[in-house]
Amino acid sequence: MAKSKKDRLKEANAHLARAREQWDGATVDSWPPEEPADCVTKCFYSYENALVAAATGLGTAWTKKHYEKADLAKRLFEQNKLKTDISRRLVKLNELRKDVSYGEPGDELSQINLEDLVSQLERFLDEVGELVASLEEE
């Protein structure tokens, strides 16, 4: 049975709150002494939760698979539902996260500007926050 708009928005806000909490953690990881592996991983999950918040609020179906979420991000951007296309960022962060999962962080990770990474994420969270708020007003 399809969820009511009220339930969808409640769920969207819960995902967004989780995304913000993960962003908080990533921000602390970006401060010196930096923890790049943890920062990248938390940013990745935060992006995913924010994307799920947007999709849930809009009533768009989503799956748990990471690469399908990147497709979803592209689709929502192409449909003008989201202003920012985060599909490439999701793919890149997922790869970096997987590189770390083998054990040693790769060279690419040390070249990432973590401050930029969390700032970009913050802007996306604000964008999704505005989207969910506008859906609540409709």
The yes or no reply on residue 56 touching other proteins (CB under 8 A) is: no
Does residue 43 contact residue 54 with C-beta atoms inside 8 Å? Answer: no
Listed residue (117, 100, 113, 93) closest to 23, CA to CA: 117
Per-position DSSP letters for 2-26, written without gaps between them: PPPHHHHHHHHHHHHHHHHHHHHHH
Name residue 70's amino acid: A
The CB-of-33 to other proteins minimum distance in angstroms stands at: 5
Structure tokens at 17: 């709150």
Q: Using CB under 8 A, which of 2, 6, 107, 138 touches other proteins?
A: 107
Q: Which of 5, 7, 10, 28 binds other proteins (CB under 8 A)?
A: 28
Near other proteins by CB under 8 A: residue from 8, 12, 16, 25? 25
Provide the binding-site residues for other proteins, judged by CB under 8 A: 14, 18, 21-22, 25, 28, 31-33, 35, 37-38, 41-42, 45, 48-49, 64, 67, 70-71, 87-88, 90-92, 95, 98-99, 101-104, 106-107
